[in-house]
Amino acid sequence: MAGKAGFNPFEMARSQFDRIADMIDLDSGTRELLRTPAREFAFTIPVRMDDGTVKVFRGFRVQHNDARGPCKGGIRFHPQETVDTVRALAMWMTWKTAVVDLPLGGAKGGVICDPHNLSPREQEGICRGWMRQMAKLVGPLVDVPAPDVMTNAQHMLWMLDEFEAIHGAKYPGFITGKPVGMGGSLGRTEATGYGLVFTLREALKELGVRAESTVAAMQGFGNVAQYAIELYTRLGGKVVCVSCWDQKDQTSYTYRKPSGVQLEELRSVADRFGGIDPAKAKDKGYEQLPAEAWLEQEVDILMPCALENQITGDNVGKISKRVRLIAEGANGPTTPDADKELVARKVFVVPDFLANAGGVTCSYFEQVQSNMNYFWEKDEVLGKLDVKMTSAFLAVSELARKKKLFMRDAAHVIAINRVAQACKDRGWV
């Protein structure tokens, strides 16, 4: 998706896994099991459009591993969705649930479509069509979906309603990211962005840097980025630019304001997908720059919160020498060849499947609450999230220091060992 020509995210995910498998001397059977998704589904979704014609969309679900519990992973809508993207994201979800020690596995789903160009009724048709294809293959004890790129609480509710209609019973714990009034969890909207900043806060402590003295550049202005900006600025940090997609021009731009991005100000000129209106942003004093300008700013922290394949071997050299920390809100934003340069420069990287695990952690909380039919207050949810994210960060950081590992490698070692052990304990390998 959104990557350079020839980039294959699944091959990237596999190469990351293979490096760690070599490092921990994983046996050949377990290695083959974990580098291959357990199950893959690809299907067509016919939808009658508002003009009366029928359009056929392509849908996917990949269940990578369920040794530690039911599969868990989002469903994204994107015009450039590919099955290899979904495979990679499913594998990363397995490591993500494991590194924060949730009793869940990893999965991912998607539909090739662009919600920008679809009416609510057409989007509902895609959601219900996706569920009709998958209803016998997912469920609260099997595979629990959630929102992802360009999907939201309404999409999840349509899917839940279709699942319940097919099965003839109520299953509120089947899907997460639901509206709060329909079994969703308080704090879920903030969870991924806040979780990112909880790990960022701990990384700054480790570096001996006060948040108030730092400046950051952000890629993305969707849900993750917005709540990350909110909490980071509350800690005293300053975001000087955001880079995001422009639907009209079909490209990305960076919007820069040296005095600091004002969250509510930018929200007032953004659409529901996080796209910013260039003219309105200019009126509010933001300078419009090329897409990659966010990467080149003289800042202390970079937060990629958009899509995969954004920091690569081709552009990593553009990152300012001032940058000390990268906190990855997106999935797979940094390629292995870029990692080599970041290691050489001693940039502290909080890896994606640790940094952005706040979303799946809060999804797990929602799942538990829905299954119990008992709901926690927002402060309790966010408090539990802080404890879980901080604990996971400290475990990864401790291993990284002890074994002199890059943070991404340390996180992979913990996650892959946990999943491999579960497979062995079950007698699969």
- 262 conformational bin, left if phi > 0, alpha if psi -120 to 50, beta if neither: beta
Which tokens go with 111? 């539909």
pLDDT at 15: 93
Low-confidence ranges of the chain (pLDDT < 70): 1-5, 247
Residue 337 φ then ψ, to 5°:
-70, -30
In 179-300 the beta strands, taken as DSSP E runs, fall at 215-219, 238-246, 251-256, 287-290
Among the options 4, 55, 96, 108, which is catalytic?
108
How many Cβ atoms are within 10 Å of 376's Cβ, its own excluded? 18
**Residue whose entry in the numeric block shows the structure tokens 């917005």:** 226
- Distance separating the N- and C-terminal Cα atoms of the chain: 34
Establish whether 403 is a catalytic residue.
no
Which residues lie closer than 8 Å to 130 by C-beta, 6 or more apart? Answer: 45, 59, 75, 109, 111, 159
pLDDT at 133: 98
- CATH match for 38-171 among 3.40.50.10860, 1.10.287.70, 3.30.930.10, 2.40.10.10: 3.40.50.10860
pLDDT at 2: 40
Find, among 127, 122, 146, the residue nearest to 51 by Cα: 122
CA–CA–CA angle 385, 388, 389 (5° rounding):
85
pLDDT at 247: 67
Pairing of strands 143-147, 301-304: unpaired
Look over the chain and give the mean of its residue pLDDT values, rounded to a whole number.
95
Find, among 319, 397, 334, 327, the residue nearest to 357 by Cα: 327
pLDDT at 1: 38
Fold agreement between 38-171 and 189-350: yes
Q: Can you tell me the distance from the alpha carbon of 16 to that of 24, in angstroms, rounded to the nearest whole number? A: 13
Enter the pTM of the model. Answer: 0.92
CATH topology of domain 189-350: Rossmann fold (3.40.50)
Which residues lie closer than 8 Å to 405 by C-beta, 6 or more apart? Answer: 399, 413
N residues, the chain = 429
Query: Could you state, in order of their start, the residue ranges of all structural domains in the chain?
Result: 38-171, 189-350
